[in-house]
Amino acid sequence: MSGAQQKVISLYPAIIGTPKPFLKWVGGKRQVMPHLIAALPGNFNRYFEPFLGGGALFFELQPVRAFLSDTNDELIGTYAAIRDNVGGVIRHLKRHRYTEDYYYQMRDRNPARLSPEGRAARMIYLNRTGFNGLYRVNSKGQFNVPFGRHSNPCICNDDNLRLVAASLAGVALRIASFEHVLEFARKGDLIYMDPPYIPLSQTSNFVAYQKHGFGMDNQEALAEVFEKLDRRGCYVMLSNSDVPWMKRRYAGFRIRRIRAARCVNSKASARGPVGEVIVTNF
């Protein structure tokens, strides 16, 4: 399917049935989706998303030949379990209850001792019922987000999970750092990179997605990967915050500036629209 066809399908989700991201994820792209769609190339071969998170753009496009990856093993395991046995994941999810005691019991379970479907259902349950849909782990890698106060959270959306599973059929999933795209991407492929953002200020530096944050050394390594993919003839698209470093480092590429409502900051007063950029080499 060409990029243009994918673009058209995404404009008619009610007809085809476009899945929604099944996890709430910091940095989820639903708000800025129209800008991302507008920035896409007209045509491309395979699709790569090496900072998968909630996968908003992947679900919007539903490319047939896709390579999705992230360093978060629980996250990738959850996608894989849905792809391979969505019925099993749904059965496990339906057993979960929304009470504080139950939440902490579930949080304390060692995911490594659960089946792939049970593990995926635990991840989805904690994400839907924990505080703000955050994913945060302590130094031992244990999930440590507190119980969230929601009114009637939707823990299991069967229809959406089945659409998610259908769009993941045949898709390659990997636990890997972003550099691994260099091993696979070829001329004509599209790579969309949505890394943890460069902090805008001291109070908004939410980069603790994983045990290790994503610092400026990682941002520099990412810019080098962007340049290598560009020289290879790939289409490369990258989101980040609108900070002077981005303008300097990606000078020579096309930079679109957009406003996005973000909820990364824990202080409600500091939330609100922030500047983002979309960088493309096309």
Ligand X SMILES: C[S@@+](CC[C@H](N)C(=O)[O-])C[C@H]1O[C@@H](n2cnc3c(N)ncnc32)[C@H](O)[C@@H]1O
Judged by the rule CB under 6 A, the positions of this chain that interact with ligand X are 25, 27-29, 50-51, 53-56, 70-72, 177-178, 194-196, 209-210, 214
Work out how close the CB of 141 gets to ligand X at its nearest, in angstroms, rounded to a whole number: 13
Output the DSSP codes for 38-97.
HHS-S--S-EEESS-TT-HHHHHH--SSEEEEES-HHHHHHHHHHHHHHHHHHHHHHT--
We find the least distance from the C-beta atom of residue 171 to ligand X, in angstroms, to be: 15
Q: Select 27 or 63, whichever has its Cβ closest to ligand X.
A: 27
The sign of the torsion formed by the CA atoms of 30, 32, 34, 36 equals negative
Q: Of 31 and 45, which has the nearer Cβ to ligand X?
A: 31
Q: How far is CA 5 from CA 1, 21, 41, 85, 172, in A?
A: 6, 21, 11, 29, 21
Asked if 167 contacts 79 with a C-beta cutoff of 8 angstroms, the reply is no
Q: How far is the CB of 196 from ligand X (least distance, A)?
A: 5
Measured CA to CA, the distance from residue 67 to residue 190 in angstroms comes to 10
- Assess contact for 236 and 191: CB atoms under 8 A: yes
Measured from the CB atom, the residue of 25 and 125 that comes closer to ligand X is 25
Nearer to ligand X, 79 or 214 (CB): 214
**What is the smallest separation between the CB atom of 61 and ligand X, expressed in angstroms?**
12
Residue 208, helix vs strand vs coil: coil
Shortest distance, CB of residue 180 to ligand X, whole angstroms? 8
What minimum distance in Å lies between the beta carbon of 77 and ligand X?
13
User: Considering beta carbons, is residue 132 or 177 the nearer one to ligand X?
Assistant: 177
- Return the half-sphere exposure (C-beta side, CA atoms, 13 A cut-off) of residue 119: 17
| Residue whose CB is less far from ligand X, 88 or 140 | 140
Rg (CA), the chain: 18
